[in-house]
Structure 1
Amino acid sequence: MDLAEPVATYYRALDEGAYESLRTALSPAFVQHRPDRTFEGRESFVRFMREERPRTDTTHTVEAVYRNGTETAVRGQVVTDAGDVLVRFVDVFEIAEGEITALSTYTR
């Protein structure tokens, strides 16, 4: 799937543990809403991913990408290194001036 930057950077950084790259993809005022919590601020999100994320042996597999103006929706799944599907997701990114400003994550 062809992902535009900074969305491609977001997934690559998570999968590779490249937290400085993740930081550069996000706006300082970044907000993520997901079923289990909300992160307000880039530093809060990056800190969680670096220090508290329950699993790091995962890869995001992208199945479809939809674009509409400043929004990009990605449908995919999180897969362990052993090949097990942990979760299926839809991420809706809001992007402004080359940075991710907001992310709404839906899972099943």
Structure 2
Amino acid sequence: MTVNDVVEEYYRVLDEGEYDRLQELLTEDFVHQRPDMTIDGRDEFLNFMAEDRPEKTTTHEVNDLHSTDETVVVEGTLYKSSGEKWFSFADVHKIVDSQINTIRTYTG
């Protein structure tokens, strides 16, 4: 799997709620830095996504993707389950051994 494949799979499984597969894509010490919080650890992230996030059935649209050997930057749009645009985002993914180690999210 290329780094782009890993990141594209991340959005697919997140949108489909495939949390077992999502776990496989993340390092154990995964960190997600968001404008509103930092989620530290793969298990904490999986729990947040499955149980605590405010909108559980969102859809990520990837509008553009830029990558190097270990960094993937995604520009996209997040939609609510109703199809309404929620916000635009840019995610910076750091990849280690074909798994996502960190994501830094910027929203606009």
Whole-angstrom distance in 2 between the partners of 1:27 and 1:83:
31
**SS at 2:5's partner residue?**
coil
Q: Work out whether residues 78 and 87 of structure 2, in 8 Å CA contact, stay in contact via their aligned partners in 1.
A: yes
Structure 1: 5+ residue runs without aligned partners? none
**Shift in Å at residue 14 of structure 1?**
1.2
Give the TM-score of the pair, scaled to structure 1. 0.92
Does the Cα contact within 8 Å between 1:61 and 1:76 map onto a contact in 2? yes
CA distance in 2, matches of 1:26, 1:80: 24
Find the residue that maps to 2:4 and give its secondary structure.
coil
The residue that corresponds to 2:104 in the other structure is: 104
CA offset at residue 5 of structure 1?
2.5
Q: TM-score, normalised by structure 2?
A: 0.92
**Which residue identity does 2:95 align to in structure 1?**
I
Question: How far apart, in 1, do the equivalents of 2:58 and 2:66 lie?
Answer: 23
Question: For 1:78, what is the secondary structure of its paired residue?
Answer: strand
Matches within 5 A, 1:7-46: 7-46=7-46
Q: What is the CA-CA distance between 1:8 and the residue it aligns to?
A: 1.6
Flag the structure with higher strand content.
1
Instruction: Give the AA of the match of 2:17.
Output: G
Q: Which amino acid aligns with 1:86?
A: W
* Contact 1:78-1:88 within 8 A present in 2 as well: yes
- Other-structure match for 2:75: 75
| Structure 2 letter corresponding to 1:30 | F
State, as a whole percentage, how many aligned pairs show the same letter.
Answer: 38
Shift of 1:6: 1.6
Moved over 4 A (4+): none
Q: 1:69 offset after TM fit, Å?
A: 2.5
1:57 aligns with 57
- Kept in 2, the 8 Å contact 1:5–1:98? The answer is no
Q: Structure 1, residues 82-107: CA drift from partner, whole Å, max 9, x if none?
A: 32110110000000111000110000
SS in structure 1 opposite 2:87?
strand
